[in-house]
Amino acid sequence: MHDKINPTHLERAAYVYVRQSTAAQVQHNRESTDRQYKLAQRALRLGWSEPQIKVVDEDLARSGSGTADRHGFALMTAEVALGHVGLILSIEVSRVARNNADWYRLLDLCGVTDTLIGDEDGLYHPGLFNDRLLLGLKGTMAEAELHVIRARLEGGIRNKAARGELRRGLPVGFVWGDHDGEVLFHPDEAVTHAVRCVFEKFTEVGSARQVWLWFRAEGLAFPSPSHASSELQWVTPTYTGIHQILTNPVYAGAYTYGKTHQERYVDQAGQVRKRVRHVPRSKWAVLIRDHHKGFIDWETYEMNQSRIARNTHPTPHESGAVREGSALLQGLATCGVCGRRLRVYYQGRHATPGYYCAASAVVNGRGQYCMRVSGVRINEAVAQAFLDAITPAGIEASLLAEQNLEADHEAACAQWRLQAEKARYESERAERRYRSVEPENRLVARTLEAAWEKQLGELASAEAELARRLVSRPGPLSDEERMKIRALGADLRTVWEAPTTTDRDRKELLHTLLDEVNISVAGSTAHITMRWKGGTVSEIDVDLKSRFIPPVRTDEETIDLVRRLAVHYPDAVIAGILNRQGRRTALGDRFTQGKVGNLRRYWKIPRFERGAHPEDGELVTIAQAAKILGMAPSTLHRWLADGFIAGEQITPGSPWRIRLSDEIRARFVEAVPEGHVPMVDAMRLLGVSRQTVLHRVKRDELAAVHVRCGRRKGLYIKVLGAQHHLFDNLS
C-alpha cells in the first residue's frame, strides 16, 4: 500500500475520470480511451474494492477548457465537497481540466476534504505543500499546452485560408475539386438550375421574399444538404434558405474566411459561455474575389446586397422596402427644408395619401411638423413627368415584356423536367438493386421492393406534375396579341392606369429611374425637384389649391318621402322603410337612425310626435292591434290581405297600420251572433267559393264577424234567407 493512503481514504470511494475532447478522438483514438478505463485496475491494486470504484465517463467528446457543460466533472466535484471521495485517478492532469479555474477549485476542495489525486506518475495530496506545488505546475502546463496546440492549429488554418485552399463546407450548388482550393459547380444539373432560378427571379422581382413566394406558388422543391449523408435532399424552400443564397459571396465566385468570430460571456447562471458574432465585411480575415467561377459576378452581388438592404422597414434617413399603398413616392420623397426622408400617412374615408417630415419643432408650447402636404396632386405630377420621360422607351419595353411572358413559365417547367429526370434515375437504380438480389433472400428483397415502389410513386407524381405544367403553359402569342402589346408600349398611360397595375408595380417603376423627389411647400404651391438615375435633375411646380367639388346631396324624391313619413313614424322606422325600398344616402350608404335624423334636421323637417288620437279611431300598428284585439298578428295580416279589415300604408315598404274604430272593434266578438254561420256553412248555403264570399264581404254586401272564443272560432258570415239567391244572376 502507498504511504499516502490511509484507512480513511479506503473507506471512501475511488473515482476514475475518463474524458476525450472530441467525438473523433473517441472514435479513432481507442488506445487512449482504453488506457483511461484500465485505471480502475490500478485502484484495485491500491486497496479499493470493486464496488467502491466508480468510473466517470459522462464527459467523453467534451472539451476540458471549461466552456462546455461537463456534468461528470461537476458530479465528481460535488462528491469531493461532501467528503465521499478518497481518490481521484486520471491518466494525466489535462484530462481532468485544461483551465486553472476548474483545476484550482478542485485542488482546494481536495485539500479540505483530504482527497488524493493520482496520475501515471504517482499519488499526490493537495493538502501538502510540495504536492500542491507540483499539481499546480502540472495544471499550468496543461493550460499552456492547450494554448500552444490552438495557436498551431489556428495558424495553419489561417495560412491555408489566406491561399484559398482551406476546405470547409460549401453552399448548395458547389463541390470541392481534386486540386487545392478548386471549387466546381455541382454535377447535378437540377441543383445548379434551381440555384440559377433564385438569382434570375431576384433580378426580376427584387425581393428575397418574392422569390420565396414564387417557388412556393410554383410548387418547386429546392436542394438542401443532409447532415446524415453526403446526398442532397429536395425539400420545400424556406425564406431563410433563399435569403442565405442571395447574401452568400461564394455564389459570386469569392472565397471568404473569418466572417464570424466567437466571444465569451457570462450567462445569468454565472457560467462562461461562447456565442458567434457576425463581423462586417471590412473585418473579414480573408476575401479573395474571382477565386472560382460563380453563378453571378461580383458587381451583380454588390447590387443585390444594396437592393436587399433597402428592403427593410424605413427609417428617418432610409427609403425602406417598396410596400402596398397609394403613396407612390414612399421611400423617394425628401423634405425640402431639412432633407429628411418624408414619411407617409393616410387619412379620410378613401385613405388619401400624404407626406410629412418627422422632424418636429416645439412652437408656442406644442409640436409642429416641419412639413405636411397632401400627396394626391404631387403623385399625379410626378407620374406625368415619369411617363413623359419613358415614353420613347415604351416600344422597347413592350418588346422585352413580350419575350419575358414565356420565360417565367419556362423556368418552372425546366425545373420540373429535371425533377422528373432525377426521379426516373432513382427508380431505375432501385429496380437494378432489386433485380440484383437473390430471390431466396426474401428479407432483403422485400426491403428493396418497397424502395422500388416508393421511387415509382415519386416518378409518377413528378411526370404528372410536369404534364400538368405543360398543358397549362400559355401558347405562343398571336399577331393580334403582339400588336396590342406594342400598342400599349406606345400608350404607357393606359398601362399605368390599368386596374391590373398595382400601386406596388408603379412604385417599382418609379424606383428604377428616380433616386430622390425633393418637396418644398410655399403657400399653396409645391416645388418638386426630381433627381433621376445618372444625375439628371428636373423641377416642376404643383398648385395645391382645392378644386371645386359639387355638393353631394340626397335626391329630392327621398327627401319628400322622409317629409311625409316623419309625420307618422320615428327615425328608426323611417330608416327601415328607406332601406327596404333600396334607397341610399348621398354617399351610397344604407340609412340608419342617425343618418335619417341628420337629413331631417338639415332640411328642417319636424320630428314625429305622438299626438291625440283622431275622432274616428286610434291608428295603431299590426302588433299593437293584435294585442288589443286578443289575436295573433298573422291572423290580422291574413284578414288585411283578404279585405276583412282595412289598413293604411304611407309608402311601399312602410308598416301597415289599422285604425281601430268602434266599427272595427265590433267585428271581433266573444260569442257567435244570431244569424251568423261559419265560412264553410256560408259557402254551402250560398253555393259559391270562399274567395267570392270574401269579395262580397269586402264590398259590404255581406256582414261578417270574427269569433275569438269557442271550439269553432274564426270568421262567421251572416246569411239570411233572401241572400240565398244573391248569387243567382252571376255569370
Of 527, 557, 549, 525, nearest in space to 540 by CA? 527
pLDDT band at 254 (very low <50, low <70, confident <90, very high): very high
Of 365, 362, 309, 369, nearest in space to 345 by CA? 369
The answer to whether the beta carbons of residues 308 and 208 sit under 8 Å apart is: yes
Read off the C-alpha cell for 444.
Answer: 432483403
Residue 15 has pLDDT above 90, yes or no: yes
What are the pLDDT digits (tens) for 178-226? Answer: 888 889 998 888 888 889 889 988 888 888 888 998 888 888 888 888 6
When mean pLDDT is compared across 185-194, 404-413, 572-581, 617-626, the lowest value belongs to 404-413
What are the pLDDT digits (tens) for 484-504? Answer: 655 555 567 777 777 878 888
Structural fold of domain 174-254+289-310: Hect, E3 ligase catalytic domain fold (3.90.1750)
The answer to whether the beta carbons of residues 90 and 53 sit under 8 Å apart is: no
When mean pLDDT is compared across 168-182, 305-319, 408-422, the lowest value belongs to 305-319
Please give the Cα distance from 399 to 696 (Å, whole number).
82
What are the pLDDT digits (tens) for 25-56? Answer: 888 888 888 888 988 898 898 889 999 999 99
Q: How many residues make up the chain in this entry?
A: 731
What are the pLDDT digits (tens) for 156-175? Answer: 888 888 888 888 888 999 99
Please give the Cα distance from 356 to 352 (Å, whole number).
13
Residue 249 has pLDDT above 90, yes or no: yes
Average pLDDT over residues 283-296: 90
Please give the Cα distance from 8 to 494 (Å, whole number).
99
Q: What is the pLDDT of residue 85?
A: 92
On the 0-12 / 13-18 / 19+ scale of CB atoms within 10 A, 312 is exposed
Please give the Cα distance from 320 to 334 (Å, whole number).
13
User: Coil, helix or strand for 548?
Assistant: coil
Please give the Cα distance from 567 to 654 (Å, whole number).
13
User: Coil, helix or strand for 563?
Assistant: helix
What are the pLDDT digits (tens) for 651-664? Answer: 766 777 887 777 77
Say whether 731 is catalytic: no
Q: Could you give the percent of the chain with pLDDT greater than 90?
A: 12
Of 3, 60, 59, 35, nearest in space to 119 by CA? 35
Helices (H), 266-406: 298-310, 376-390, 394-404
We find that the CATH architecture of domain 7-159 is: 3-Layer(aba) Sandwich (3.40)
* Domain boundary assignment for the chain: 7-159, 174-254+289-310, 333-401+487-543, 406-476, 550-611
Catalytic-labelled residue, pool 21, 319, 398, 427: 21
Average pLDDT of the chain?
A: 81
What are the pLDDT digits (tens) for 316-337? Answer: 445 556 667 888 888 888 888 8
What are the pLDDT digits (tens) for 49-62? Answer: 999 999 998 888 88
Contacts for 430 with CB less than 8 Å, ≥ 6 apart: 448, 451, 452, 454, 455, 456
What are the pLDDT digits (tens) for 513-541? Answer: 888 889 988 888 889 998 888 778 888 88
